[in-house]
Amino acid sequence: MTPPPPSSSGSSSSSPRDDDAARLHAPFRPLRGPRVARVLGVAAVVLFSVLAATVVGQTAWDRVGFVVVGLAVMAFAEMQARVVAVPDEHGLFVRNLVHRRRLEWAEVVGVSFGGGRPWVQLDLSDGDTLAVMGVQRADGERGVAEADRLATLVALHTR
């Protein structure tokens, strides 16, 4: 059996504590949502391109319009596919469908995933809430585990 290659940081091994911290602070990304969004985006471009090529009685502008609509649907789907929440030692960066927000850990007072919500909701110290679309109920048990991991991070950093 051959030994594992040295890590890129120059040390021959990392401590289990470092590995646990790295896993705990890994980005939150949904699994199913991006796949579905990208498939639908490509399907929209194909469908609208076929319509542009086959519908009779169109002007050139009509054909361009069909393709532009397909590309707009694909761009929207790609925005949905890129949702993420990235934690670090200082806080959480949340990129949702349209909005992006950087939070300090002290701003987050609670994490909820109940009530049939499609994604995690953060309760903020100013009384507002923020959806975290990077953790989605559509991912089933993995989504629940990711919500628990986010709640663990909040508890860890707000002691």
What's the rounded mean pLDDT across residues 19-33?
Answer: 86
As a CATH number, domain 83-157 is 2.30.29
Task: Tell which wins on pLDDT, 3 or 14.
Answer: 14
**90 has pLDDT over 80:** yes
Map out the domains of the chain as residue ranges. 33-80, 83-157
The pLDDT of residue 115: 80
Residue 6 token pair: 């040295």
Buried b (16+ CB within 10 A) or exposed e, 28-40: bbbeebbeebeeb
pTM of the model: 0.78
Residue recorded with tokens 């507002």: 128
Task: Tell which wins on pLDDT, 16 or 57.
Answer: 57
Binned at pLDDT 50, 70 and 90, residue 16 comes out as low
| 93 neighbors 130 (Cβ within 8 angstroms) | no
Buried b (16+ CB within 10 A) or exposed e, 42-52: eebbeebeebb
